[in-house]
Amino acid sequence: MYIASPLRFADSSREYLGTVMAALRGHGFDCLDPWDDADGSIEAGLAQAEAIVDRAARVAALAAADEAIGRRNAAMIERARGVFAVLDGVDVDSGTASEIGFAAACGLPIVGLRTDWRRTGDNEGCVVNLQVEYFIRSTGGAVFRQLDEAAARLAVLVAS
């Protein structure tokens, strides 16, 4: 199961990613975490690119590293059985939104989780951005407020 989220951008949300992964594993899923850098190659590649003094060379190296990361994440989505998307924040994270769109185009089931109580939908008919919500619903998914409910729904969708 691919986990789309911004949860490792901030120290305050990193631990919650572990909670999400534990809930998904509890429903029998293997987790594909785009943040996983077990061998440190992503961090090392970015650090090496950032250390380049010449601006043009640094920008080119960072662009190449970014492309490799994006390609890696797309490949993980393509081999996933579905996508679990964390939708918390003032607005849905742009990376998470694009992963949702790509997964929907790949025909994967998607479930969203929004534990954030702030209203961000375009109107009262949606919880988050209407396009994000459309892609989630188009796969049979929905946006949930409770982690276990979201994980259970994804288990049903993947089993179908």
List, for residues 37-96, the tens digit of each pLDDT value: 888 888 999 999 999 999 999 999 999 999 999 999 999 999 999 999 999 988 999 999
Reference 37, options 65, 59, 78, 79; nearest CA is 65
pLDDT of residue 131: 96
5 confidence band (pLDDT: 50, 70, 90)? very high
Considering only residues 124 and 12, tell me which one the structure prediction assigns the higher pLDDT: 124
Count of Cβ atoms closer than 10 Å to residue 101 Cβ: 15
Reference 145, options 129, 160, 128; nearest CA is 128
pLDDT of residue 138: 97
Task: Please determine, looking at this structure, whether the domain spanning 2-32+80-159 carries the CATH number 3.40.50.300.
Answer: no
* Domain map (residue ranges) of the chain: 2-32+80-159, 36-79
